[in-house]
Amino acid sequence: MASPLEQGSFTVTISFDSANAFKVAPEDISECYFIEDIYTMTMLGKLCVKDRYGIREYGPLTGDERMTISYGNASLITKEFSIYNIPAVENIVDFRQQQNSIISVLFCDTYYTNLTQKKFSKSWDKDTQWSQIINDIFKNMLKIPDGAANIEASNDKTLAPFYIPSWNVANTMRYIMDRITGTTGKYGYLCYPNSEKLINCVTLDGLLKNAPMDSQVYLFNTDDMSYENKILGWDTMGVNQTGLKEVGGGLMMGFDPAKKSFLGLGIEIDDSFIYSKAVKEITSLGKQSFFSEEIDNKPQEFNYMWQTTGESNKEVLSHMFYNNFMRRYSLQNTLKIVVTGHDKRVAGTKIILMWPAQESQNVYNNMYSGEYLIKSVTHYFCPITSPMYRQALVVMKNAYAANNRGDNVSVTGPDYLNFDIGMWG
C-alpha cells in the first residue's frame, strides 16, 4: 500500500501524454475541489491554477489531458480525471501576461464521454438478470476495469428481449434503475462513483440498512480542535411539505396493448400509490416518518405525481413509483457539515452524529441525533487555508429518531448512542 501524504496535504498532476506530466505547485493553486454524490453518475470538479511556467504554451494545454489528485491521511488515494473544459483563462496583471494568468479547469471521471456522449445499440435475451446487463454495460461500454465496479444483484429478469436503440449509457441506466428491485435492499437503485470504487450500482434501501459506518461520533460542541470528527460548520434543510412530487403519492399509468386499455387509471386502491402504502412498503423508513398519513388523497395540497408511461406490466409500474418515491423522500431532511478532510469519508457510507439540545451542552437531541447516510462529499484542497484539506458532507436522515420528539438524552446517561434510530430502528 502506498504511504499516506503528510497530514492534510495533496498533489495535483496534469498528464499531457504517457511520457509527459506536470506537477502543479501547491502555492499556485487558488481553488481545487471535486464532488462525489450517490445521486450523480460521475464525479465533477474544478481546478484554478496560476500559470507561472507557461503550461498553456509548453504543454500545450488543450483540454484533452488527464489529471490526477493524490490525497489521504490513513492511506493514499489517487483519483484520475479527464479534463473536459477550460472555461476561462484570466489575466491578473498587464505585465508578463503568460506568467500571470489564472487557468480554470473543469474535470470529471474518465468514463464521462462514454457515459453521456457515445451512443450504443445492443440487445439481451429474455430472462436475463438486469444486474448482468448492468455489468455488461459497465465492462463493454464504459470500459470499467475488472474489480472497479460494485453492483448489487437484481431481483428481476427481463420479461422480454431487451434492446437499446442508439442510447447513451446515462439514459439506459436511468431506464433500467427505475424498473428493477435489488436483493440487498429493494428500492431506489443508484449509480455513482466514490473514492472506493470507480462506479457503484446499488439500492438506496440497501445503503440505508447495510452501508459501512464510522464508529467515531461526530460532535458539534467539543473543545478538542484535533478531534478528527469535529464539525467546523453546518447548515440544514428541513422538511418540505409541498415541494416534492410523489411524496403524497399519485398515479402511475401504463397501457395494455392486448386489452387496449390503460393500466392504473381506475379508482381502485390497488391502481394508485399513496404515501401511507409507500411507507409500509419501504421498511427502512423507520418508525417516525416526516409526514402523517393525513397527506393521502390531497393532491391539491401535497403535489401528487400523475404520470403516463408506455409500460404494460403492473409490477413494473409499481417498481417505477416506489424507486422514485424512495429517492425523493430521502432528500427531505438533509444536513451539510464541514469537517477536516480525511480519506475514510466516502459517499454511500454512514456516520453517527450527536445533535446538541437547546438547553444544555451535556444533553443531546434525541430527535435529530443518530445515524446519517453520506449523500455527497465535496473534497476541498487549498494550501492557503487551515485546514488545507477540508470536506463538506451532505448527509441525510429520512425519519426522525425519537417517537417523542421532545425527548433528549444525556451524553453520560445509560441511553448514550442507544437511540430508537429512525430509518434503521
* Interval 381-415: pLDDT, tens: 988 887 889 999 999 887 766 544 445 544 443 34
Contacts (Cβ under 8 Å, ≥6 apart) of 332:
239, 240, 244, 247, 290, 398
In the 8-state DSSP scheme, what is residue 367? T
* CATH fold of the domain at 115-208: Phage tail protein beta-alpha-beta fold (3.55.50)
Helix (H) or strand (E) holding 46: strand 44-50
Task: Report yes or no: 205 and 159 within 8 Å, Cβ to Cβ.
Answer: no
Question: Which of 24, 9, 136, 16 is closest to 72 using CA atoms?
Answer: 9
Same fold, 115-208 and 211-238+333-410: no
Q: What does the pLDDT read at residue 346?
A: 95
Q: What's the confidence (pLDDT) of residue 2?
A: 46
Give pLDDT, residue 43. 96
In the prediction, which pLDDT does 40 show? Answer: 96
pLDDT for residue 265: 53
pTM of the entire structure? 0.87
Contacts of residues 86-90 at CB distance under 8 Å and 24 or more positions apart, as own/partner, are 86/61, 89/51, 89/56
- Residue identified by cell 427481463 is 158
Cβ neighbors of 295 (< 8 A, separation 6 or more) are: 241, 247, 248, 249, 275, 301, 302
| CA atoms in the 13 A half-sphere facing the CB of 43 | 29
Low-confidence ranges of the chain (pLDDT < 70): 1-8, 18, 93-99, 238-249, 265-272, 274-276, 280-288, 291-305, 359-363, 400-425
pLDDT in tens, 197-246: 999 999 998 998 889 999 899 988 777 878 889 999 999 876 666 656 56
Q: Which CATH fold would you assign to the domain 10-110?
A: Thrombin, subunit H (2.40.10)
The cell for 104 is: 480554470
The whole-number pLDDT of residue 115 equals 96
Domain 211-238+333-410 - what CATH class? mainly beta
pLDDT for res 267: 43
CA distance 320 to 316: 6
Spans of all domains in the chain? 10-110, 115-208, 211-238+333-410, 249-329
